[in-house]
Amino acid sequence: MWPPDTDSKSLVPTFKYPFSLANKRVYEGGWSREVTVRELPVSKSMAGVNMRLTAGGVRELHWHTAGEWAIMLYGAARITAIDADGKSFVADVKKNDLWYFPSGIPHSIQGIGADGAEFMLVFDDGDFSEAETVLLSLPREVLSKNFGVAEGALKNLPREELFIFQTDVPGPLEVDLAAAAGSFGASLENFAFQTADVPATKRTKGGEVLIVDSSTFKASKTVAMAMVTLRPGGLRELHWHPNADEWQYYISGQGRMTVVATGNRARTLDFRAGDVGYVQKTLLHYVENTGDTDLVFLEMFKSSYYQDMSLAQWLAHTPPELVRAHLHVDKETLEAIPKDKIVVIPG
């Protein structure tokens, strides 16, 4: 109910927006809702789309003017694309798997699980809107000339975008792979990433962090991720990011984040599953699990690589007399500060 005493009267801009308040576009094959700079003005570098597809539901063939990074939240989906050389890509993804399609790469997504799929899309442009994608709705006479087929054969083409539509669940992956390969063959670029194949980057009694950027997921050239799990009482240590703003999505649990801005201003907000958070580049912040279950959230960055700075590590590796003069602490207290980056602190 009450924020910490350290919260300033002159607050930093709000850095929270719940997806539950976002407008939902509903179709026979699923639904979609987005949080962009329109809903969260501070979020200038990234935008997010939460999408749900039924079994067989399809996000129609399209491409974007921004790069699309995604994580599977539930179920399973089949993704398709062609690379810049015209070679095909088809893959199945399940919970916590990732994919990345660079801007201009045409692709589709289809729910294939028994109950379809839900996923979070993150775009490397805060002004991006899922409603402004490039689709296949074109004049029939142009398509007839372009494809070399009779115009009458195209009489049933949709006149408007489908966006999301319902169709049958596809067959085995191997069948689609063979059918899509064509004369150019399969793409050598892997647009998908299986998180189950890699261990946690950092693990303590307080939780764990999995970092995935272009060093491990080669296709993801403009977006880096840290998936953070905090046990009850756990703390994502005081830190900041020198290379990019941080866009957050809270997957499960509940927590509290404080952001410290210039001029000794601070603001604290509570978060729960479905909320979006945002921290501007270089601002000090921390996240604490305030619930009785694990808190799981994403840290997303418009960058090819992940980077953070630890407050504890900085103080521990600065001349001790200088730090003591600043903080007014004794030698024993200063020596107790961890020398290495902790990332996740036990409760």
The DSSP symbol for 63 reads: B
Instruction: Tell me the pLDDT tens digit for each residue of 197-254.
Output: 999 999 999 999 999 999 999 999 999 999 999 999 999 999 999 999 999 999 999 9
**What is the distance between the alpha carbons of residues 125 and 226, in angstroms, rounded to a whole number?**
19
Q: Contact at 8 Å (CB) between 111 and 31?
A: no
Q: What is the pLDDT of residue 135?
A: 62
Radius of gyration, CA atoms only, the chain: 23
Active-site option among 132, 288, 299, 335: 299
Do 246 and 294 form a contact (C-beta atoms < 8 A)? no
* Amino acid present at 176: D
pLDDT single digits (tens) 95-123? 999 999 999 999 999 999 899 999 999 99
Q: Is residue 70 within a helix (H) or strand (E), and if so which, with residue range? A: strand 68-82
Say if residue 339's pLDDT is above 90.
no
pLDDT category at 140 given cuts 50, 70, 90 is confident
| pLDDT reading at 255 higher than 80 | yes
Active site residue 299: yes
Which alpha helices (DSSP H) does the chain contain, by range?
140-147, 173-181, 311-316, 320-327, 331-336
What is the value of pTM for the model shown?
Answer: 0.93
pLDDT digit string (tens) for 116-136?
999 999 999 999 988 767 666
Predicted pLDDT of residue 267: 93
3-class SS at 40?
Answer: coil
Mean pLDDT of 137-148: 84
Q: How far out from the chain centre does Cα 205 lie?
A: 25
